[in-house]
Amino acid sequence: MSQYLLEIKNVSKFFSGLTAIDALNLKVKKGQIYGIIGPNGAGKTTLFNCITGIYTPEEGEILWNGKEIKGTAPDKIAALGILRTFQTIRLFAEMSVAENIMSGRHIKSNQKWYNGIIPTPAYYKDEKYNWEKVGEYMELFGLSEYATTPAGDLSYGVQRKIEMARALAAEPELLILDEPAAGLNENETKELAEIIRKIQDMGVTIMMIEHDMDMVMSLCEYMTVINFGAWICDGIPEHVQDNPAVIEAYIGVEDEDEDE
Amino acid sequence: MSKTNMIALGFLVIMGVFPFFADSAWLAVGTTFLVFSVVAFSQDIILGRAGAFHMGHAAFFGIGAYTTAILNTHFGWPILATWAPAVILPMTVALITISPIIHLRGDYLLVATIGINIIFIQVLENDLFGLTGGPNGIFGIDVVRVFGFEFFEQTHMYYMAFILLGITLFIMKSLDGSKFGRAMFYINKDDVAAQSMGINIRYYKMYAFAIGAGIAGAAGSMFSVQYSAVSPEAFNVLQSIMFFTIVLVGGSASLPGVLIGTFVMFVLPEIFREFETARYLVFGLAMILTMILRPRGIWPVKFGNIPAFLKKDVK
């Protein structure tokens, strides 16, 4: 067993000749909040898509608990315990909040193939248990009052919470957040930071892309800065903040790209 | 009792006593309505729930019908014994033929499934192995016999179809309340998000096709016994289009919607028979108007069907 939960080794991803990620290395320890920062178009979301199996990188290795997972299908990645949210919120908009969160219970449910046709006592138990879990996650995120509301009818901030609750309902080991604070107001961002800490206290490792520097600097224990798909520097927030290369590539223009 | 349950109960009561008031012609229409509803529900599992644009459903309906017809007339099987094969064979054919094309999206899948339907009709018309009877089909299919009783009357047919619809509704309810039905909805609404939640898209789409084909096969078996004959034109692409349209006009994934769709698309033309082909002009217009005015169907699906204990904080 590796001492790292997730290791990215020399990973490269090309799109028809264009280098989206360039021989990137990073290591995430269990229990960490790990930040990925960089200007727009730096390849951050592409990196997340490679980890979660939406893309397969052409080169390098992605190790999960020391085992190669490159090329594994997204649903298998989720079953391993890597769950994510999306930069552009992807909820099941017409379905209720509770049903959205129930999708997180999918991989935890033990229903047999014939339970789609005929219920059994074990099915009733499983179904009840998972709905109760949904109730717990709705409470944790303060969503109980919206249980029956279609997710698409709710405000941006609430939708972000639903997406996180949905991912968390799958009881992940690693939660990947793609710009969780995008589009949130100041109060909502503050609330989000508290939620992220709460999730960390539950023993979940977190990786996040975020443009809100205050939030990143206060939350993340370690971070990697990338630009044009390539590594610029990594380290603890204080160290990264003072790095001249980072300031040049990113921090200087930070204020303008809140809403990518 | 909730409003929906009352409407459901009302529907079942009306359908249950219908044979006491109908003449034989209307009883036949009623029976076919029940059979077509069952096929429409099975189409709805694939199209309305899993969101797969499947335009070849009449083929699976037909495989069920021909399985019963062939096993009974050529091999002398009693009808009762053909029921299981009439479900399993369409299921197997669906798994084999759909598996290589299941990854196709929307319009591409639609064209591929039309192809399956056309091949099926060709097989029937060319009298494969001398079994399918060519363009004329197969006549003289037996009635259901159980312990010396013969169920040959129209009323018997009607209640058999009624029971089949009951079983189908039971399956639809089970599906809706299970992770299988939900997985289909998730894939339908956002496949990328569904996959990221650990849902195997291929598996659940194939699951939808297998169950859909099995139910359609059972309906086909019933259909062949009702008319004691089968012929290719009852299972061509035009029929597939009808089942596809029933789901969209009635309301995808909505149980009352699919029933209304079947009523509108099949029973109404029978009621207006005296206007002959002119009635189809009205129907064409009605279909266009429904799609413009009610794009989600006449009775759209309502989500939010969750256990009561989760609703306690809802204002």
B178, B186, B189: residue with CB nearest A111: B178
Contact A107 B304 (CB under 8 A): no
Q: What is the pLDDT of residues B219-261, one digit of tens each?
A: 999 999 999 999 999 999 999 999 999 999 999 999 999 999 9
Instruction: Judge whether A79 is closer than 8 Å to chain B, CB to CB.
Output: yes
B196, B209, B254: which to substitute to probe chain A, counting the most A Cβ within 10 Å?
B196
Predicted pLDDT at B188: 96
Task: Output helix, strand, coil percentages for chain A, rounded to the nearest 5.
Answer: 40, 25, 35
Residue B293 lies in a domain: no
Strands A33-37 and A222-227: parallel
Q: Does residue B139 sit within a domain? A: yes
Q: Which of A156, A198, A164, A181 is nearest to A84 (CA)?
A: A164
- Whether B94 is in a domain gets the answer yes
B305 chain-A contacts, CB cut-off 8 A? 99
- Say yes or no for a CB contact (<8 Å) between B306 and A149: no
- Distance separating alpha carbons of residues B159 and B174, to the nearest angstrom: 22
Residue B111 in any domain: the answer is yes
pTM: 0.92
Q: Is there a domain that residue B312 lies in?
A: no
Cβ-nearest to A135 among B198, B207, B309: B309
Domain membership flag for residue B121: yes
Number of domains in chain B: 1
Which residues span the domain enclosing B159?
30-236
Has residue B2 been placed in a domain? no
Confidence (pLDDT) at A260: 41
- Note whether residue B15 is domain-resident: no
Is the pLDDT confidence value at A86 over 90?
A: yes
Phi, then psi, of A176 in degrees rounded to 5: -105, 115
Cα(B109)–Cα(B100) distance, integer angstroms: 11
Share of residues in chain B with pLDDT > 90 (%): 70
According to the model, what pLDDT value does residue B285 have?
A: 85
